[in-house]
Structure 1
Amino acid sequence: MTDTSETRSADSAAHATQQSRLHRLMRYLPLIAPVLLWTVPCWLLLHTGQHWPLPVTLAGTALFALGLIGMPLAMVRGHGRRQQDWAAIVGDTLLGTIWTLFTWSVVLGVPLRLALTGVGVGDAQDRARIVTWAVLGAATMLLTWGYAEARRVPRVRLLDVQLPRLGAGLDGLRVVLITDTHYGPLDRARWSARVCETVNTLKADLVCHTGDIADGTAERRRAQAAPLGTVQATRARVYVTGNHEYYSEAQGWVDLMDELGWEPLRNRHLLLERGGDTLVVAGVDDVTAESSGLAGHGAHLAGALHGADPDYPVLLLAHQPKFVDRAAADGVDLQLSGHTHGGQIWPFHHLVRIDQPALAGLSRHGTRTLLYTSRGTGFWGPPFRVFAPSEITLLVLRSPQRPPTP
């Protein structure tokens, strides 16, 4: 009979081997992914029975090859040490374009070819060419629409949120949430001003920004962020850091937001009082702050709530939805987050769900805690939003003690 300890050792060794293989695969993923993104649609659209004239095949293949080489180079020059905005724009646009073309080559092209074969449409070459034009047409329409969606001023999403512990004096409190503005290589100063104008029409008591203000330092993106100083709220404007702040001098962004009149809630809280009732408005640094090496930065919920009366309801700002596990354990009433962008370009939604407990909207966690996850106000990287519209969110907080509407 095999000794139990020997069996466990063998199982541990097998698990360690699997983990080692996974880690090796993850290291090679940045090399593998671009190759798949460019070669799969190239093969499906040009080389699987279409029999295009030779110049068409050669020209098309050359374009895909140039994309395969040019996209990573542009991304490195744009987002690496050189931080060249023109290169970032080229690389990001190519990434969004090929992701969309790859997706629809697979989810539309393959089933369409099977369907055409099943009903006997034309010969193999006719079917292959129909699929190619259908995929190119769908991708072009989605990218055109997605670009317009990304660059537009977001629609306002209105939501009533009932908090059982909210006092009647705070019923109807208007909380506006913006997040993930991601000011970056594309100059969006005018867009930023129009977003702030829209926020000001909502007559907010409290305006919140839950991080990822920009890609780049505060000094570099100051002009795009400056309109945030015009945002109006009757009670407070509060801000917490996102993960992208920690890629580009987070303290600089904290200082700039403070200069623009926003109150950075770095593991601290303020009290909002009205009609004899009180709401704790707390904020924490993004979870990535803990590994950033930046002195004094880290996500500390206990510090954020230190000194607050436990009988008061708590509104917490935390950039990433996955912080809700800690929030629920501490009995937070409502957490406001961003980070996910709602997936930004379908079907990236499914990958986001691997890392985060919520993609967008209102969800319940534990017995008390509600989480609202915004799809974001701006966009990151590729200037497209496909089936993931941006938003400015107006949450009206409701108390169960409010008098009934006549």
Structure 2
Amino acid sequence: MRNEDMTTDRRGEAVDTPPRRSRGRWRRTAIVSAILLLLFGVPWWTLLLAGTAWPTPVVVAGTALFAAAFVALPAMMLVGRGPGRSRPDWLSAAADALLGVAWVLFVWSVLGHVLRLALFLAGVDDPVRGRAVAVTVVAVVAVLLVWGYAEAMRVPRIKSVDIGIAGLCRGLDGLRVAMITDTHYGPIDRARWSAAVVKRVNDLAADVVCHVGDIADGTVDQRLDQAGPLASVEAASARVYVTGNHEYFSEAQGWLDYMESIGWDALHNRHIVVERGGDRLVVAGVDDATAKASGVHGHGANLEAALAGADRTLPVLLLAHQPKQVTHAARAEVDLQISGHTHGGQIWPFNLLVRLEQPVVHGLSRHGDKTQLYTSRGTGFWGPPFRVFAPSEITLLTLRRA
């Protein structure tokens, strides 16, 4: 028996105890199984059994399809996104797509029961009522998935935002900050998309270009073709980058080194100073909020280190991947923090769940007496290749004297 499976009693004698790791594994398995049962069970019941009275072959075929998806999703996620660097990208992409389909189908199956209630109140009986709900749910889901895929894969539109900053000097008035974040270069090859994003950013003729983390899902070697166009980004004064939480799933230091190698300033808890019109702006960056817990040596968000040596009479622009990092920024009286991470929820109504963890899902907000926060919906997408009611963006922030 392994030592970790044993403890000692008061007399110092060894006694058997249930392995903690096994209990934790069973608990996680139970939670995941319950989620999957809901995710697939609600649509299964809504489309096949809730008063629909479909012919038996239809019910059997539909049940078999849901059962196969129920088994396939966790299996593909485990193999496609499990540990190791030799995971097949096609399997990851298939798992992500199935997850997105399941989520949209679940949400609109739940909402379908609102229609079911309305038809009941209107005096429509089953099976007409049940079949009307089933057909409507399938039609809405199909439209949303096609539209959501197109939204995810297109080159993001430009979102322009003017931000007034108290104390901004005249030379910095009108400074243009182009912001991309959450590109998530991953199992779907988006090298051409990446090049098109860079072209659109360059057309903005920005003073500062920022990449605010979650650059890729995978290592530099795996995603080099997709990340390569970032070397061509143009900025009048600076190109700056900070890590997001997904860098810590692969090789955070590798991505910092890569961005430095192509001419970007990797703001690993440090700052630079940008000058325009004779006036100066501190541009600082911190590691992602998950960096310290990741165990990567020398990593962990440290705003004090990032601002060490900075002239605090100057305005400060801070890059921090997660909006919740604004708590530290407000204490330090940072003028403006820019963040990503939320994707605006990516697939509605996931934004409601994101709001449970983050103070803001999207847009400009104020925190404390001085600090403002702009949260981007993100430039790319993570996982499921769909964006439903959460469009991607390339953000152009123009700093104004308040």
Q: Same-fold call, TM > 0.5?
A: yes
Instruction: Name the CA distance, whole Å, in 1 between partners of 2:89 and 2:339.
Output: 28
1:190 lines up with 2:192 in the alignment: yes
Bigger drift between 189-198 and 72-81 goes to: 72-81
Q: Deviations over 1:177-218 (max 9, x none)?
A: 000000000000000000000000000000000000000001
Q: Which amino acid counterpart does residue 394 of structure 2 have in structure 1?
A: I
Equivalence for 1:111: 114
List alignment gaps of at least 5 residues for structure 2.
1-24
1:351 lines up with 2:353 in the alignment: yes
1:212-223 residue pairs with structure 2 within 5 A? 212-223=214-225
Structure 2 contact 284–317 (Cα < 8 Å) conserved: yes
Q: Identify the match of residue 209 of structure 2 among 191, 207, 215.
A: 207
Q: Which amino acid counterpart does residue 319 of structure 1 have in structure 2?
A: H
Q: Which amino acid counterpart does residue 106 of structure 2 have in structure 1?
A: F
Equivalence for 2:103: 99
Instruction: Name the CA distance, whole Å, in 1 between partners of 2:100 and 2:198.
Output: 27
Instruction: Name the CA distance, whole Å, in 2 between partners of 1:302 and 1:26.
Output: 37
Instruction: Name the CA distance, whole Å, in 2 between partners of 1:319 and 1:221.
Output: 20
Q: Which amino acid counterpart does residue 285 of structure 1 have in structure 2?
A: D
TM-score norm. by structure 2 comes to 0.92
1:309 lines up with 2:306 in the alignment: no
Instruction: Name the CA distance, whole Å, in 1 between partners of 2:87 and 2:322.
Output: 26
Structure 2 contact 198–230 (Cα < 8 Å) conserved: yes
1:256-335 residue pairs with structure 2 within 5 A? 256-335=258-337
Equivalence for 2:248: 246
Instruction: Name the CA distance, whole Å, in 2 between partners of 1:27 and 1:328.
Output: 39
Equivalence for 2:63: 61
Shift of 1:25: 6.8
Q: Which amino acid counterpart does residue 268 of structure 1 have in structure 2?
A: R
Shift of 1:295: 1.2
Query: 4+ runs of 1 displaced by more than 6 Å?
Result: 23-27
Q: Which amino acid counterpart does residue 101 of structure 1 have in structure 2?
A: L
Q: Which amino acid counterpart does residue 49 of structure 2 have in structure 1?
A: H
Equivalence for 1:73: 75
Q: Deviations over 1:19-47 (max 9, x none)?
A: xxxx9976732221111101111011101
Equivalence for 1:342: 344
Instruction: Name the CA distance, whole Å, in 2 between partners of 1:48 and 1:353.
Output: 32
Q: Which amino acid counterpart does residue 231 of structure 1 have in structure 2?
A: V
Instruction: Name the CA distance, whole Å, in 2 between partners of 1:30 and 1:277.
Output: 54
Q: Which amino acid counterpart does residue 108 of structure 2 have in structure 1?
A: W
List alignment gaps of at least 5 residues for structure 1.
1-22, 401-406
Q: Which amino acid counterpart does residue 270 of structure 1 have in structure 2?
A: I
Alignment identity in percent?
60
Instruction: Name the CA distance, whole Å, in 2 between partners of 1:75 and 1:165.
Output: 50
1:37-52 residue pairs with structure 2 within 5 A? 37-52=39-54
RMSD over equivalenced CA pairs, Å:
1.4
Structure 2 contact 237–275 (Cα < 8 Å) conserved: no
Instruction: Name the CA distance, whole Å, in 2 between partners of 1:28 and 1:392.
Output: 40
1:351-370 residue pairs with structure 2 within 5 A? 351-370=353-372
Shift of 1:54: 1.0
Equivalence for 2:157: 155
Shift of 1:276: 2.5
Instruction: Name the CA distance, whole Å, in 2 between partners of 1:225 and 1:97.
Output: 27
Instruction: Name the CA distance, whole Å, in 2 between partners of 1:273 and 1:227.
Output: 26
Shift of 1:273: 1.4
Secondary structure at the counterpart of residue 287 of structure 1? coil
Q: Identify the match of residue 90 of structure 2 among 83, 86, 90.
A: 86
Q: Which amino acid counterpart does residue 344 of structure 2 have in structure 1?
A: G
Instruction: Name the CA distance, whole Å, in 1 between partners of 2:192 and 2:31.
Output: 37
1:216-235 residue pairs with structure 2 within 5 A? 216-235=218-237
1:390 lines up with 2:392 in the alignment: yes
Secondary structure at the counterpart of residue 389 of structure 1? coil
Secondary structure at the counterpart of residue 290 of structure 2? helix
Secondary structure at the counterpart of residue 222 of structure 2? helix
Q: Deviations over 1:58-103 (max 9, x none)?
A: 1111110000000111111110025221111111000000100000
Q: Deviations over 1:278-321 (max 9, x none)?
A: 11000001111111111111100000000111111100000000
Instruction: Name the CA distance, whole Å, in 1 between partners of 2:71 and 2:167.
Output: 57
Instruction: Name the CA distance, whole Å, in 2 between partners of 1:260 and 1:310.
Output: 30
Number of aligned residue pairs: give it: 377
Q: Which amino acid counterpart does residue 214 of structure 2 have in structure 1?
A: D
Instruction: Name the CA distance, whole Å, in 2 between partners of 1:119 and 1:353.
Output: 36
